[in-house]
Amino acid sequence: EGYLVTKQIFAKHPQVKLLFAANDMMALGALKYLEENKRAEVKVAAYDALDEAVAEVEAGRLAVTVNQQAAEQGFQGVTLAVRLLKDERVPQITLIDTRLITAKPK
């Protein structure tokens, strides 16, 4: 799907220089399209920090990916649910830091 969406974007907006994908799988599709169409100047960023995306960051093809710390999200969700089951008060908002994954400087 990322491949097709990227193709549609560039058909209408060939001047685009940066894509921010909602997730790594979409970014990987975008990278495939950009590579096939020799658009190496376009930077792509995404969310999820999947192993495949981290490898693309390390290879210099994906600009960045964002680790949303899914395990921490799950842990916090269960922790808050247990507290609610015990009739304890919980915060209305719980923030979990994200981590930007970039290529290591050479």
pLDDT at position 106: 59
Q: Collect the ranges in the chain with pLDDT lower than 70.
A: 105-106
Separation of alpha carbons 20 and 43, rounded Å: 8
User: Helix/strand/coil (H, E, C) string of the chain?
Assistant: CHHHHHHHHHHHCCCCCEEECCCHHHHHHHHHHHHHCCCCCCEEEEECCCHHHHHHHHCCCCCEEEECCHHHHHHHHHHHHHHHHCCCCCCCCCCCCCEEECCCCC
Tens digit of each residue's pLDDT (9 = 90 or more) over 55-70? 999 999 999 999 999 9
Separation of alpha carbons 100 and 79, rounded Å: 25
pTM recorded for the entire structure: 0.80
Separation of alpha carbons 48 and 91, rounded Å: 25
pLDDT at position 94: 94
